[in-house]
Amino acid sequence: MVIIRLKGGLGNQMFQYAFGRALSMRRQEQLFLDTSLMGTGPTKAFISFGRGSKIDSPRDYALGALNIKAEIANYELVRAFNTKSATFIRKIKRRLFRPNEYKFYIKLVHSRASFFEGSWNNEKYFRDIADSIKHEFTLKNKLGTDAEKIENELIRLKVSKDKKTVSIHVRRGDYISNPYASEQHNIVTMDYYHKALSYLTSKIPKENLKVYIFSDDIDWVKENLILVGYDIEYVAGHIHDYEELHLMSLCDHNIIANSSFSWWGAWLNRNPEKIVIAPEKWIRNPYINTKDVCPPEWIRI
């Protein structure tokens, strides 16, 4: 069996699932998800190993809306790894594998271990099963009314070819409010978005472009990201995060933040001619190499 301990928000949980799913498929074993670090979930009762939620932003289990192929680990299964010996082994593994969560470690691809805790933010772990991951990261249920309206518009523009569409994701939330998160993550400036749009409009005339802006602080974006002459729609209303992810993936092109959330929106975009623009500086720590955090064909600015 393969057990993956989930942590973080939807984007991070998707990376952890994709890592575990690829490993379980190679080994032809069942994948289990340990939700003990989540704000909700049947294994919530266990104490966190590692950093935990006291300084990380607390999150809930977020993969339930997707067509994933895994089971939630029950109390007895997680408890089997909640021993002193298992703790010692995990500490050793963290020394070997956790210094850089964006780096690809080939030894993990062939690992026979059962329990994994980490972030695994690198597509090389699951690139060989990309089609399966893209299928499983589709939505189980029908979109809500507000999200469906935007989906219909995106589909109409794609069919009519009246305009090309681009998603812009501005991440604020815990990057601003949580001291630990703001210490770790680089805050992308508005200058980045202007440069990204300038690059995109060098390929596509501004008048032929419609911009969809996604953010966890849309009012702040309206006041601070001033875009003159663009056809803009701010994605707001009663829309879930997984619905936003789906809508990002339907855009022709993507301008992402230094966020695993919009990373997945761009990665799931099936447009073979997509232009994806990402920040060059992904995190604050200059000693951690994030060169491989994005696929090589994406543009870093």
For 263-291, the pLDDT digits (tens) are 999 999 999 999 999 999 998 788 788 88
For residue 184, the model assigns a pLDDT of 59
Does residue 85 register a pLDDT over 90? no
Give the 3-state secondary structure of 219-278: HHHHHHCCCCCCEEEECCCCCCHHHHHHHHHHCCEEECCCCHHHHHHHHCCCCCCCCEEE
The predicted pLDDT at position 183 comes to 53
Mean pLDDT of the residues in the chain: 85
Report the pLDDT value the prediction gives residue 177, as an integer from 0 to 100. 45
Predicted pLDDT of residue 181: 47
For residue range 236-255, list pLDDT tens digits in order.
Answer: 889 999 999 999 999 999 99
Angle value at C-alpha 260, between 92 and 63, nearest 5 degrees: 85
pLDDT at 277: 98
Which stretches of 28-166 are DSSP H helices?
75-79, 84-97, 106-109, 130-136, 145-160
For residue 24, the model assigns a pLDDT of 96
Q: Is the pLDDT of residue 32 over 80?
A: yes
Q: What is the pLDDT of residues 163-220, one digit of tens each?
A: 999 999 998 765 554 445 445 556 789 999 999 999 999 999 999 999 999 999 999 9
Q: Enumerate residues 6+ apart whose C-beta is below 8 A from 4.
A: 16, 17, 19, 20, 31, 32, 33, 34, 70, 116, 117
Cα 185 to the chain's mean position, in Å?
14
Q: Answer yes or no: is pLDDT of 151 > 70.
A: yes
How confident is the model at residue 100, as a pLDDT?
A: 65
Instruction: Return the closest-CA partner of residue 147 out of 83, 241, 229.
Output: 241
Name all contacts of 63-66 with Cβ < 8 Å and 24+ positions apart. Answer: 63/6, 63/10, 63/13, 63/14, 63/17, 63/33, 64/140, 65/139, 65/140, 65/141, 65/240, 65/242, 66/14, 66/136, 66/137, 66/138, 66/139, 66/140, 66/242
Express as a percent the part of the chain with pLDDT over 90. Answer: 63
* Single pTM value for the model: 0.87
Q: Please give the pLDDT value at position 27.
A: 94
**Which of 39-43, 44-48, 78-82, 134-138 is predicted with the least confidence, judged by mean pLDDT?**
44-48
Residue 90 — pLDDT band, cuts 50, 70, 90?
low
Task: Read off the pLDDT band of 42 (50, 70, 90).
Answer: very low
- pLDDT-based confidence at 40, cuts 50/70/90? low
